[in-house]
Structures are given as C-alpha cells and as structure tokens.
Structure 1
Amino acid sequence: MTLGEIAGRVLRDHLEVFGAFHTTQADGLDGRTVVLLGPHEPGFWPHFTASPEALDGKSDPLDRWSQRVITKAAQDLNAEALFPFGTPRRPFMSWALRTGRAWSSPVHLLVHDVAGLWVSYRGALLLPDRLALPLPSANPCERCDERPCLSACPASALSADGYDLDACHAFLDTRSGRQCMETGCAVRKACPQSQKYHRMDAQSAFHMDQFHS
C-alpha cells in the first residue's frame, strides 16, 4: 500500500490525503501509519450537497457523510476509520502538526501546505503497516512577507496575540458580521494559500453557521 494508492481511492469521494505520520507506542493506536483526509478542491461542496446526508434534513449531515464514505474507504483499504468528532475524541490538531504539512500560523490557526487557513480534516485512516512517507513540505507562512492574516479580522478578534472568541461571536451578531457569516472568516480568506484552494462560499457559510449557532 502506498499513499498514492490511498489518494486514488479517497479521490472518488472528493477527498485527498492531507498528510500522514507514523504512530508511536504513546499514541495507543493499533496501527503504524495515520493518514489524514481533507476536502479535495475544487468540487468538494457540490459533491457533498448531492449526497443523501445533505438532502435528508437530519442533523450533522457533513459528519454523517464523512463517517459513511471514510468508513467504506477504510474497509476497501484494510484500514480503520478515525474521526475528529464523536467518541473517543482524537487529537487531530496535534496529529496534523506531526505530518510535516501543517503548522501554527501567525494568528495561531492551523495552516496547511495546500488548503492554507481553510484546512479541515474530515477523518483519517489508520493503516497496519508503516508506509513510506514524503519529506516535510515548506511552511507557506515562511515565504509570506505581507502576512495579511494578522490584520484581516474586522473585529480584531484574531491577531498575533491570540483569539478573542467572545469578540468574534459578538461581531458575527452585527450587520457588519454578515460578510463573514456568508462567505467565511475574513482572516482565513486573506491567507494567500487559502486563495489558491478554491473553497466555495457556501461551504464556508455552512461552517460559520455551525460555529456561531
């Protein structure tokens, strides 16, 4: 099994490999390689919104879709499916940092070598074998001279000093906050790497609604 073979399988569900790492005994996982999966762009949101989970009117459609398609992929690949929701809670943020493809950004949000500040993980595959992994990627923040993320928040809730969650939610309740609610976080959008990722506004609006509800 190779990462390329895994990537080919999950692409059928508009997912892609967002990084991988080798486990240690301290992880307490019955496998030797964890492969993180995120949305493949462009095209992820139209693919998801045509799914049964998106159309049945029930709660948590994206999590239910992720559970179904990643569980099936895991079965096809002789792997175990792991998720960032439900129980047990898995440390996806720290896992992401171990892949060499995600880092802490200047505003302390996770930044990814492909998805930028739009990075999200729909699940992971735990493989029994120790797969060959690529060398770490280059942190996009290190070649970003302007660092627009530091000044993009209209509520000054996200900065180098950290995240003022209360200020963020208060701003989203105002008329001025509708822009963030309808098209996504201004800080995440300002990231040059995010702008290359082509995430649809409708997807960002969905996540903002989940975040602010």
Structure 2
Amino acid sequence: MRGRVEDLAAALSANGLILRGGFTFADCEEAPHGPSGAPAKSVLLVGQAGAAPWAHFLRWREQQPQVIANPLDSWSRQVIGDVAETFGGRAVSPSDKPYLPFQQWAMRAEGLKPSPLGILMHPQYGLWHAYRGALLFEEAIALQEASEAIHLCDACADKPCLKSCPVEAYSADGFAHRACLAHVRGADGAACRTGGCLDRNACPYGADYRYPPEVQAFHMAAFAGL
C-alpha cells in the first residue's frame, strides 16, 4: 500500500494539494461508509499548505460558468473525487451533510490543536493551511501514528491574534460571528475585505505560507457573501 499512497500523493500534488496524514478507524468506532457502502477502515486527509492550489483553481475556474456557487468547494470535490476514483476510495468534503468530524480527524491525523481563532495551529504552516477533503478506504492502511505536534500558541505570550480585530471578534468567549460579519460588510471593513482577517494576519507563525492578499480577499468575500 505504501507505493499506492505515494502515487496518490503525486496525483494530488499535480493540483497543489497534499496528504495531511490519516489513520485507521478502531473496531469500536462508527466509521463512515467507503466506496461500496461498507464501513471504511482508513481515512486520508487531503489539504493544502499555503496557497499552492490557487493557480490550479484559477485555471479550472476559467473553464466554468461565470456564476457558480462555492467554486473552490466544487473544484476540490472534482479533483479529490477524481483521485478517489483512480485509487478505489470514496471522497468526502468538509461541507458534506450530515457533517463529518473533519476537525477531530485532522487533530488525530496530525496531532494538532486549535489556535485561539479556532484554526488548527500547524508547527510549520502556522494558520496558513486548510483541509479540502478526505479519502475513505475499505482496507486498513498502515500509517505511522501522529505524535502530538508542538503547539506554538503555548509559547506565544502576547497573543496578537486576539488584539488586532477592531470589533474584537475573537475572545475567550468564542467567535462573535455577527459582529465580524457586520464589520466586514461595513464601511470600516475595507482592510479585512481586501487583505483578510486582521487577527489571523497578526499571528507571527508560518509567515512563509501566508495566503496572498487576493486569496484572502476571495475567502473573505465568500465568508461575507459579497
């Protein structure tokens, strides 16, 4: 299976995507179904580091209708779905309903913990990474168990990620969704609309993987429905 996983990773890399770890479900777990409808035995997480998929997504977008709902999700589903079909797996997405526990899967697969913003903190990528989908297989895949990663937030005393938002959208009480949305849509939210979340950008870690402004503006427009 090792060679098959390497070939799978190479197929994903052709579109700027990477494998983000995985694991085998325990016998006592209620696993989602695989391609035949039988319970899956293994899951491989698929995602990105930095904005590597962006150029691939844009080339795909040029060939699509001008108006398309959730284009990045559609692109991810297509790319990961093609890989799943080639390698005998079932592709699933974080936006599938009923929702699958992607955050828990990701923490288990890579040993990560959430940052104060809720985004998982990666020791190399910081906050500049994402999970685009997963591949479910009906066979056990021998994978090295993830050890707990260094959680950079523990060493960050100043927490600039909680001090940069003008409406204090993130706090110990959680995410103030309505306040954030109103600010981004309002007259004072231009910096957020064009350059992304100020709190996220204030984090000093993973700067080499920071999304370019146009990528952050795309995600912010999707968040705000603009």
TM-score bracket for this pair, using the shorter chain length: 0.7 to 0.9
Q: Aligned pair in 2 of structure 1 residues 140, 9: CA closer, same or farther (>3 Å)?
A: farther
Q: 1:27 to 1:201 in 2, by over 3 A?
A: farther
Where do residues 95-106 of structure 1 align in structure 2 (5 Å cutoff)?
Answer: 95-106=105-116
Match among 66, 73, 81 for residue 71 of structure 1: 81
**In the alignment, which residue of structure 2 is the partner of 1:34?**
43
Q: Is the deviation greater in 164-173 or in 19-28?
A: 19-28
Give the partner amino acid of 2:218. F
2:127 alignment partner, one of 101, 110, 117: 117
Other-structure match for 2:165: 153
Query: What is the TM-score of this pair, normalised by structure 1?
Result: 0.87
Moved more, 113-122 or 88-97: 113-122
For 1:26 and 1:74, how far apart are their aligned partners in 2?
23
RMSD: 2.3
Partner in structure 2 of residue 22 of structure 1? 24
1:92 alignment partner in structure 2: 102
**Alpha-carbon deviation of 1:26?**
2.4
Alignment length, in residue pairs?
Answer: 213
Cα deviation 1:86-121 (Å, max 9, x = unaligned) = 334222122222223431213444323443223322
Cα 1:78–1:158 change in 2 (3 A) is same
Q: Identity of counterpart residues, as a percentage?
A: 33
Give the distance between the partners of 2:79 and 2:165, measured in 1 at CA.
Answer: 35
SS at match of 1:192: coil
If you compute each CA radius of gyration, which structure gives the higher value, 1 or 2?
2
Question: Which letter maps to 2:59?
Answer: A
Task: Classify 1:54/1:211 alpha carbon distance in 2 versus 1 (closer, same or farther; 3 Å).
Answer: farther
Q: Deviation string for 1:159-191 (max 9, x for gaps)?
A: 233111111112112332111111111111122
Q: Decide whether aligned partners of structure 1 residues 99 and 199 sit closer, same or farther in structure 2, where only a CA change above 3 A counts.
A: same
Gaps of 5+ in 2: 33-38
Cα distance, 1:34 vs structure 2: 1.3
Relative distance call for 1:122 and 1:107 in structure 2 (3 A) is closer
Displacement after TM superposition at 1:203 (Å): 1.7
Task: State yes or no: 1:50 paired with 2:59.
Answer: yes
2:190 maps to 1:178:
yes
Q: CA distance change for structure 1 residues 197 and 180 in 2, over 3 Å: closer, same or farther?
A: same
Gaps of 5+ in 1: none
Counterparts in 2 of 1:53 and 1:126: CA distance versus 1, 3 Å: farther
